[in-house]
Structures are given as structure tokens and as C-alpha cells.
Chains A and B, each alone.
Chain A
């Protein structure tokens, strides 16, 4: 744990990407193999199942530090991170012991079915033996996501540097479900074992938003133009008569998409398709919220299947006949994809797969017009892909761009503020906004992002001076500030007082030029709802 703690400190004490990569490479060079694989697992979000509850940690910490629970709660609201709060409250240990990272994690996993007394003794014993920094890390291992300013890209580069393997290969071998208990970094990354896991997806190639005038991309006919669909980006894998469906977040979601089970019989083995999973009924795209009702469910009912049947709009082919074809040009890949889908549909017309249609345009003006009608098509905008592009890994500039329509927007009044977490801890940065319903302000959305750090500080200090009431970490404030809220979609929602739920709401700008009487109304929201849900 001391070595991992030192790694953490090195990463935490720099804002430079290169220094973080060096720190990781140094760690891999010296760390115990069983620790190194866990380090990668944890930093890439593959943490073991949680075995100790947050409430238990809080109570034990209160007991051990002699802090009243209410005071601990108040402190937590300020710190914004329970693991850190506890590490700050517990008495400092001068005489510390070292335990390896993997033994600690294994012991935590072993607490799975133990009684409270056993869990408590284990945790408290650890609390007595760690330095403050190790305490924080230990608590983080228990409580959850290890967000320490290390992106997957940095981990991949660190591994690539130490093992001297190409980054793209590292990225591919790191994807999917692997068990840190059952493998080592050597095995995971070595070529001999690369074929072992037939479920392994390819890393997704992601686009950046278009940054320049579209004309600067060159000739229109060098680009393939598609609609940008608003569903779940996914990868369908058929290998050895088995089906795997991965989401972009690298969650294996095969069970949730029973529609695709039949693909085993209709698509050739060794096929990997990248596309968008969407609700489609009778050839018509349905709005995203229709699918949401079934994504969250553990068991999909017959009714769900009838109401929100899913299909994949296929963008790309990554593997053909078991061969990785990402090196081919987009045009070549699309041609093969087209022939595979056509052949399958001849035998099985109900195949829930369709080739993503291209939008044919001769000039950039026509492209721009197509972008503007995106919402009518239940789309977010356009995708522009260079026809000669290979399929790369991760988010890259240059050959793939997304060109979204401008968001819908509504001017709302700030009525509640709550303290943020992580970087934003101790600042009021989580806001609730309201619109007018007659003489009353009704909340219609929350929004967290969109303001600059400077504006956040300004609003935070305003909130502190204009608080009406406090409810735990939430404050109601005098209705005075108006913000323009942007969002990608609007759906009916009986659960919300305003009657609507927004997709991806964020703050577009602080309307210092507007008073609260200039804010929008609930009727305006209803109008948007009608227009956008036809």
C-alpha cells in the first residue's frame, strides 16, 4: 500500500500529463505483479463490489474519532468526499504498518458475507495502522470510484511506456471484463493471450465537436455524412456462436438486449459491429426516453419488449471473419458491412440491424441545412467522417467530427443551490432552476456545468449572502439570478412538478442582463415539448 500511496501522491501532486505517465511507468517497473494489476483495475474503474456500507464507515469513524455524527455530516458536506472526510477526522497514526495493495483488496472482498462485528474490526484495525494518505486511499477502495486525475488514456500510455507496446494494442487488451485476481499485467497485455477472451470489445473511436467552419474540411465528397443518433452507442460481437453487447462505458449489456440474441443465427461468427442502439417501432425511430424505461430494469418484461423494441443502426464494421479490419478505410469497411447486413436480411427480414443511412449532399450549404432539421428526425445533428479514415481508438481530432444542432434553451431563475463534490467541494455549484407558473416559480431542472471557475466562485459567494433557508446541504436563495439553460431534448415526466424532464441540461450563460420577470414560463416548456415530440 505504501508504494501505491506514493504513486497516488506523485499523480496527485502534478497537473502535467507526462509526469503522471512517468509516475505510472515507474510504479509498474517496481511494483509487485499482484499489486500492479490491481492498480490498473482500480484506476480504470474496475473496482471490486462494495462490502462495507457508507453509513457503517460514518458511524465507526464517529466512534473512533469522538466526533458527533451531526458534525461529521456537516464536515462531509464541506469536503464532498466521505473517504477524505474520514481520513481527516481520524487520529493520526505515527507507527504505521505496510500491507500490500492486493492483500488489502482481497481482505475487503472477503468481507462480503461477514457480520458487522467482523467488518468493523477489520476496518478499525486498518484505520489504526495507516498514515493519513494511506487511510484516504483505503477508504476510497471501500467507497468507490477512484477519480484521481488519471484518465484511461494516461493509464494506457503508462503501460505502453513500461511494457514497450503500442498504445492502441494496450487500449484494446485493457477493454472488457478481466479479473484482476486471475491475471497479471504481463498476461493481459501479451500477444499470446490476446485471443483468450472472446468477449473482448475494441476501444471505441470517438469524435470531437466540430471546431472550425465546416467549409474548412475541404471537399464535401471526401466526407461521409451521417445523422448523429441519440441512443446508446454500442458494440455487437459475434464470436464462436456467442453474442456480446457492450456499451461505450464498457459495460457488458447482453442480457438487457434480448432482441439481439437471434443475431447468432444470422450473422457470421467473427463479426464486430459498432452502432447506436435505439428504440425502433415499425421502421420509425422512437424518442430516447422510451428506451430509458427499460434500460434501468433488471428484468425486461414482455410489455417492455413490445413498447420499446430495440434495433441497432450500424455505423461501422471492426472485425470481419475474425480479422481485425480497423486498418481499412471507412469506405471499404462500410461496403463489407453493407454486404453482410444485406445477406442476413435476405434470409431474415426482421433482423434488428440497419445500415446507418448516409446523407447525400453536394455542397456544405446543403449539409448545414440537413443539420438544422436534425431534431425533426429525432437526431442530435450530423457526423462527418472522412471516407479514407481508419478506425482509431479513443477521442481523436481530424477525421471524425460531430456537428450537433444548437441546444434548446430556456431562461430559468436560480432557486436552490447545493454544495458540489470533488473539485467543487465547498462551493455551491449544483443548482436548481425554476420557470414561472402564473405567479409561482416551479423548479424544472438541475444543472451543474457550464459556468467558468471564476463565475462559480462569484455565484457561490452570492448564494452565501442571499440564503433564505438551509435544508442540510441545500440552500434556498432569493430569486434574483437568471441563467440560460441549454438541453438536448425534452420529455414529459409526471414525476416532476414542471411536468417535463430535460436531456443533458447545462448552463449556457449567466444572463446578467435579465431580471427574474424575463425568465421563461411553464407554458414555454410545454410548447417546446409539443414541437419536439411531434
Chain B
């Protein structure tokens, strides 16, 4: 019922692709990150909160249709519904059912609650397509409450030392969850233009975020003192950032679990925070689906598939895709069609 071809994950019966990487007629999009949502599709079906993101990134003129979680569409006999993936706000797993056979394409997901996106919902199925970005037992993410406490303490301490705190996060998804857990009694929160654009999108689509100020050409940099600045990975090593000195640099990413990854990027602090599932979460999610056939995509796919075969006796297969997962070094951050992210430099 579902196959993998040169364009992406395909359901021939419904004539629809999920997160295709080449231009096709009909596409279901799990979420708005650029490795999953690409330009040029005839039509886009996504969760209703994801559609504004797609329009912002791919253009207002795309044909995008939004649906609720759990709402069922039928296409040539195939029952299609979207379910929360917990990855970022509006992210979805895609459930396809035809003649009793059920497939779930999970896109990117996590089980950790981030208080911004609707938590992951396990969906029973026969065939489950999973990512494996952090599919090794060395990835065990810490309690997220502790991470947020660490971030606030770090900010407080940097402020005492007369320094700014620059926190690197993806603009779409992670920036909003981080922002909402910052303690704004410590000081002022500033944002890079790329982050602020997505924040505005979130606020018009879903609701209020912790107040922050966008850094623009009018902003007097001398006023930015002991502040928290949220910036995307693309802002690193730019003149824009150098003007924020003196500052300490923190990075929020699952890769920060490894010292090497953090040291390579020259960060003072790595905060282990990911919108992907760690080892335990992957194993839990897969067992909860009850699926016997597991297709493992982007990440440590061969290792993780072998683990699933040996440990849970599942039929696990690795699949080549062009999804990137969480990047330690940028590239899948949100970039807009006209590249206006850096207008505020």
C-alpha cells in the first residue's frame, strides 16, 4: 500500500505522497521543517497549524489545506488522518488505512512534552515508519524541567558577570518552546528576526508567547545588557552576533549530549534539548504502535533496525530518504522564500 520511490513515500491507492522531495501532484506534509516541506507540490495537506508555516515558507499562493488531528479524509478508499507527533507545533503523524491494513508515517516525533506542541499520540498500526535521528543508547535526554532550570540559571549567572546570553535554537519549534520557559523576571529577552517571524506566526495561529523584543536596525545595541537573545544556527559567526559582545554562547540540541559535538561548535554551554525522540522514546513509541513491520529512516538506521530485529523480533528495514533530522550544524533551519531572515542585521 505504501512504497518508497524517487520522489518520496508514496501511497499509490490514494495517489498521494507524504513529505515528498520532488515536485508531485498531491502531498501530505508532516511538518514545516525544510527537509520535510518542499516547494513545488500541486497541493499540500497538513495540520491546520502547519498550513500558515507552509505559506510563510513556500509562498502565500500554494494550495494548502488544513485539517484537525483525528479528522478523517477518504481518497479512493484510503482513510487518511493526522495525529499529533509532538515534534513541533502542528506536526503530525500520517495514518493511512485501506482494507484493514494500517500504515503510520511518523515524520519526526518526540514523546517528551514541550508545552508548545500537542503531545505525541501512539497510533496502533501494522506498518510504522520511524525516524532514527537519535537511535543509539548513548542518547538519553535529561529531564526537560532540569534543562529549563539550567538555562535560566545560566542566564542569571551571565547577567551577574555583565554578559549577554545568546541561545542558539531552530527558529521553528524549538525557539518557541525555549522562549515560553524563560524566566523573564531575570531580564529582557531579544530575538533574531528569523525567530521573531516564526514567533509572530505562532501568535497569530495559536496564542501568546512570553514577550520578547526583535532586534532591528533601530535597536540600540548598547541597551542590550545581561539580556537573553534567541537566535537561529545561521546567526552563528556573523557580524550580527559579534555586535552582541560580551556574550556567552549556548546551544540547544540533542547533539549536545556528546562533548565532541559541543566543543566543535565552540559553544560555552550545550543544553540537551531536542524535538526528536531519544533512545528510550523511540523504543517506547515503536512498541506502543503494535506494528510488526518497521521502516527506519534518517538517522542511525542500520544500527537501529538491527536492534529492533534482535531485541523485539520485529521485521525492521532501513529506508533511504532525503530527510535530514536534527542537524548539529544547521541547514534545515527555517529559510524563507525570499531569504528575508537577516533583514534585521
Contact = CB atoms under 8 A, between A and B. Distances in A.
A234 interface: no
B257 interface: yes
B100 to A, nearest CB: 35
Interface in A77-104: 78-81, 84-85, 88-89
B25 interface: no
A74 B260 contact: no
Which label, helix, strand, loop or mixed, suits the secondary structure of the A interface?
Answer: helix
Contacts, number: 65
Interface stretch (B11-19, B27-35, B136-144, B164-172): B136-144
Nearest to A68: B310
Interface centre among B136, B139, B310, B329 (most CB of A within 10 A): B136
Interface string B288-299: 000000000000
A426 interface: yes
A149 B266 CA distance: 11
B106 to A, nearest CB: 22
Contacts of B300: 74, 78
B81 to A, nearest CB: 33
A149 B260 contact: no
A12 interface: yes
B307 interface: yes
A521 B128 CA distance: 50
A15 B260 contact: no
Nearest to A470: B302
A14 interface: yes
Given A75-B138, A85-B138, A426-B328, A80 B260 contact: yes
Interface residues of B, number: 26
B138 A79 contact: yes
A84 B137 contact: no
A429 to B, nearest CB: 10
A75 B136 contact: yes
B137 A75 contact: yes
B264 A78 contact: no
B285 to A, nearest CB: 19
B313 interface: no
A423 interface: yes
A74 B136 contact: yes
Interface in A370-428: 421-427
A159 B261 CA distance: 30
B263 interface: yes
Contacts of B137: 65, 67, 71, 75, 88-89
Interface in B289-341: 300, 302-303, 306-307, 310, 328-329
A184 to B, nearest CB: 31
B99 interface: no
A192 interface: no
Interface in B245-295: 249, 255, 257-261, 263-264, 266-269
Given A71-B307, A457-B329, A425 B261 contact: yes
Interface string A457-488: 10000000000001000000000000000000
Contact of B303 (A12, A74, A84): A74
Given A13-B269, A68-B310, A425 B258 contact: yes
A88 B257 contact: yes
A301 to B, nearest CB: 42
B260 A81 contact: yes
Contacts of B328: 426
A453 interface: yes
Contact of B258 (A15, A426, A457): A426
Contacts of B302: 470
Nearest to A422: B260
A81 B257 CA distance: 13
Given A425-B258, A426-B328, A453 B264 contact: yes
B136 A12 contact: no
B268 A14 contact: yes
A424 B329 CA distance: 12
Interface in A1-49: 12-16
B140 A426 contact: no
Given A71-B307, A74-B303, A424 B138 contact: no
B268 A13 contact: yes
Nearest to B267: A15
B263 A149 contact: yes
Contacts of A79: 138, 258, 260
A423 B136 contact: no
B62 to A, nearest CB: 28
B263 A88 contact: no
Contacts of A89: 137-138
Nearest to B328: A426
B257 A422 contact: no
B138 A78 contact: yes
Interface of B: 136-140, 249, 255, 257-261, 263-264, 266-269, 300, 302-303, 306-307, 310, 328-329
13 contacts: A13-B269, A15-B266, A67-B137, A68-B310, A74-B136, A78-B136, A79-B138, A84-B258, A84-B259, A89-B138, A421-B260, A422-B260, A423-B263
